Structure 1
């Protein structure tokens, strides 16, 4: 796969960082989504918005339950924008995200808008991501705590569902995000595995390195 036109995290995993607790209430929800969708200065206009839009549409249109979607968001965003507390349905949230990002992508490139297609992922990539997700359950369990209201097994289960039923790329990006959100230590071997998966998915040089410091815990 060719490298993406960004060196950083992207899509829904990037968006979750902008809502990470304590989320800044001096910005509206739509303004915060828009901030994430602007991307970095060295990225093509509209690319960050399109990446978030694609993730949101694929997840919203998937067969996953709304409860799974809500759990994924809660853990990835570090409980910052608590959908249950605000009375927001998980699928309605994704539709809101998609609406904001769709408008930004259209403004950046009026001719470039196209339908979001389902992911045609290889079985090998799905298996590799599922193995990486399953491997973190002992570390989650060892922390002997719930994670933003969810147990270790539940966190692993929802990540596996995203990887297997929606997109292994998105599942892996959310795994990296959860590692940071839950302060999980990782081994050098795990980090090497993540780097290899990042190459498979065409990630930029500053993406997987988000978790590099966690090999030193």
Structure 2
């Protein structure tokens, strides 16, 4: 993205946009072929946003390609591939440049509905040398697969020329469209690099992820692939006072379905299921597990702890049957490694909150009972889970965290393999030293 312009995420996009969004709309299984009036109608619909921003992107994409020194054959090849060959302007008496000019004109006309004197500004192509080299390297890395799946020997060269001679942004999106339209399977490591390039270009994640055939590795719960919280502690963090027993299943589904962009489908459910199974089959009493849930959810939904965990496991298993049918959940063994790091932190905090309660004004839950339950999780179930639940109770107990404690918490998080922002979620509780 040009440095003086907002990213596409900041502009409000959640999916693809511009020329590649139009290609996606046209490339539909319901439309084996598209005539010119239909193509123009779809383009008009793509440009018809409430503030005209969609028209801005469509028009600029078209003009970036028109302004670059690209041969007509290159433009024709990449367009046909991006649209899955369902619409060829040549079949309707238009060369490719005439088609792109019609899209530019259409976008300008749409924008003039809001401002009659609107004149499109000069195009601002993305030509950062390092970025262009990286995009071209990815195109070349998929050259054999693209050429075979798309049956177009000139496609790879054409995409490279778009990146090098016109615009790295449009070129990368056309490359992604080609992979999707031709159903080319992409290795996970390369997909991760695509996400990185998309982030640098300011894309919403969906521009890369949606419709891309990724060769996902099997779910591995030791690899979280998330920068934030996960599992039962994430579910507790999402809890709020409007939760009701009748909607509890839907609230669990939201977490079970919330795979991060780099996670294999079903990973969020597998992580949540593993936490639930650890507690469900633990030696902890029913009262202790109920205490834990009420505490970490800030008393959002008072429910029998083991009944709640059974509902969690049911929802997660349902999600996994659809997203990862070969995944076999197991009851995780008790873990002790790391308990010597977590227990002192729980006990130190217990001394400072002994006179407090969670939900103090309605069915108060004494802090002493909460910290005792946390100690049992850390020592008898899993210190990783215990530490995540411990972080969750700091806010409802209004615990002030010293800078030294916070630094120790970060070190423990690194030891357990948490993402970079996981422990940061309690940063507002930290008393920073001058």
Q: TM-score, normalised by structure 2?
A: 0.45
Residues 115-155 of structure 1 show CA distances to partners (whole Å, capped at 9, x for unaligned) of 23213332xx11111111011113313xx432232222211
Q: Which residue of 2 aligns with 1:14?
A: 234
Q: Following TM superposition, by how much is the alpha carbon of 1:90 offset from its aligned partner in structure 2, in angstroms? A: 1.8
When residues 59 and 25 of structure 1 are mapped into structure 2, their CA distance, relative to the original with a 3 A threshold, is: closer
How many angstroms apart in 2 are the aligned matches of 1:19 and 1:136?
A: 23
Which contiguous aligned blocks of 4+ residues in structure 1 show a shift greater than 6 angstroms?
Answer: none
How many angstroms apart in 1 are the aligned matches of 2:332 and 2:425?
A: 28
The partner residue of 1:184 within 379, 399, 413 is 399
Q: Which residue of 1 aligns with 2:12?
A: none
1:132 aligns with 2:352: no
Q: Which residue of 1 aligns with 2:253?
A: 34
Q: Following TM superposition, by how much is the alpha carbon of 1:44 offset from its aligned partner in structure 2, in angstroms? A: 2.7
Q: Which residue of 1 aligns with 2:320?
A: 105
* Aligned pairs, number: 206
When residues 114 and 203 of structure 1 are mapped into structure 2, their CA distance, relative to the original with a 3 A threshold, is: same
How many angstroms apart in 2 are the aligned matches of 1:26 and 1:4?
A: 29
Q: Which residue of 1 aligns with 2:358?
A: 147
Native 8 Å contact 1:66 1:90 kept in 2: yes
How many angstroms apart in 1 are the aligned matches of 2:324 and 2:391?
A: 30
| Alignment gaps of 5+ in structure 1 | 84-88
When residues 145 and 117 of structure 1 are mapped into structure 2, their CA distance, relative to the original with a 3 A threshold, is: closer
Matches within 5 A, 1:44-83: 44-83=264-303
When residues 3 and 185 of structure 1 are mapped into structure 2, their CA distance, relative to the original with a 3 A threshold, is: farther
| Alignment gaps of 5+ in structure 2 | 1-221
Structure whose CA Rg is larger? 2
The partner residue of 2:330 within 115, 120, 123 is 115
Q: Secondary structure at the match of 1:102?
A: helix
| RMSD, aligned α-carbons | 1.9
Native 8 Å contact 1:139 1:185 kept in 2: no
Q: Which residue of 1 aligns with 2:379?
A: 164
Native 8 Å contact 2:403 2:430 kept in 1: yes
Q: Secondary structure at the match of 2:411?
A: helix
Q: Which has the higher contact order (CA 8 A, sep 6+)?
A: 1
Q: TM-score, normalised by structure 1?
A: 0.88
Q: Which residue of 2 aligns with 1:201?
A: 416
